[in-house]
Amino acid sequence: MPALRIENLVKSYGAVPVLKGINLSVENGDVIAVIGRSGSGKSTMLRCINGLEPFQKGAIEVAGHKVDTASTHLRALRKEVGMVFQSYNLFPHLNVFENITLAPRVVKRLPRDEQAALVKEVLTRVGLEEKAGAYPDELSGGQQQRVAIARSLAMKPKVMLFDEVTSALDPELTGEVLKTIAELAEAGMTMVLVTHEMGFARRVATRTVFMHEGRVWEEGSSEEIFTNPRTPELRSFIAPSLK
């Protein structure tokens, strides 16, 4: 069974169509980079996968869960599908330890005596093991984003979704976050990343999906997409990154 299967996904905002029949299959261990211009539907697709946006037609199954609007189904889904956003969404009044353990405590009833080991494990994975007692405003943007990744990892997800997680960061901090994501990829995490980092997509993603006008316009191995684009739309889009 694929880690993620999308069939004929259609999504509109009122009379404005955003997704026009998306089909996509992601195998366990795949790292999928989703690229495309603003307004092509990339982030909307991610939000549909995680149940944050309702859709009008089609089917989504992720980590063995069918996505629908039933709250009980969404709770089960979000135990196994992590999502990291462009904005870090950390609670400013909670320190890093408390931000990371909140969902495992509330959702999974994680015992207090297991919380410290979990925080150490996930912070070590993102290179911030010494920051458990820090508050968000004491961290750089890159560190906050890595804590947001650690918070998602604390739920032991089967699939991770990343939505333009470096777009608000300067180049040095972007490098910190991309290094963390690359290490997760090497460890076998199944991931779908909406990104504008073309070099990273080419180097780390097993496959790249180019979205255009609400459709999957091209997809293939990342090397194939970047060295032999088949459509003029993709050639035009990636041309600046090839200079």
47-64 residue pLDDT tens: 999 999 999 999 999 998
> What average pLDDT does range 6-28 have in this prediction?
96
pLDDT digits (tens, 9 = 90+) for 209-226: 999 999 999 999 999 999
The fold for domain 4-242 equals Rossmann fold (3.40.50)
Instruction: Return phi, psi of residue 104, to 5°.
Output: -60, -35
- How many angstroms separate the CA atoms of 240 and 243, rounded? 6
The DSSP call for residue 131 is: G
What local confidence, expressed as pLDDT, does residue 204 receive? 93
The rounded radius of gyration (Å) of the Cα atoms in the chain is: 18
At position 15, the amino acid (one-letter code) is: A
At position 116, the amino acid (one-letter code) is: A
Asked if the model's pLDDT at residue 70 lies above 80, the reply is no
**Domain boundaries along the sequence of the chain:** 4-242
pTM for the model stands at 0.92
What is the helix (H) or strand (E) element at residue 32, kind and residue range?
strand 31-35
N-to-C CA span, the chain = 40
> What average pLDDT does range 2-13 have in this prediction?
96
22: tokens are 């998306």
- Between β-strands 81-84 and 65-66, what pairing exists: parallel, antiparallel or unpaired? unpaired
Q: b/e string for 227-237 if b means 16 or more Cβ within 10 A? A: eebeeebbeeb
What local confidence, expressed as pLDDT, does residue 72 receive? 65
What is the helix (H) or strand (E) element at residue 121, kind and residue range?
helix 112-125
* Residue whose token pair is 């604390």: 154
Asked if the model's pLDDT at residue 243 lies above 80, the reply is no
What local confidence, expressed as pLDDT, does residue 195 receive? 94
Give the CA angle between residues 181, 187, 189 to the nearest 5°.
65
Asked if the model's pLDDT at residue 168 lies above 90, the reply is no
pLDDT digits (tens, 9 = 90+) for 182-192: 999 999 999 99
Asked if the model's pLDDT at residue 100 lies above 90, the reply is yes
Q: Mean of the per-residue pLDDT values for the chain?
A: 92
pLDDT band at 26 (very low <50, low <70, confident <90, very high): very high
How much of the chain exceeds pLDDT 90, in percent?
Answer: 80
Q: Is 168 helix (H, G, I), strand (E, B) or coil?
A: coil
Name all contacts of 72-77 with Cβ < 8 Å and 24+ positions apart: 75/107, 77/50, 77/51
What local confidence, expressed as pLDDT, does residue 10 receive? 96
Compute CA 190 distance to the chain's CA centroid, rounded to the nearest angstrom: 10
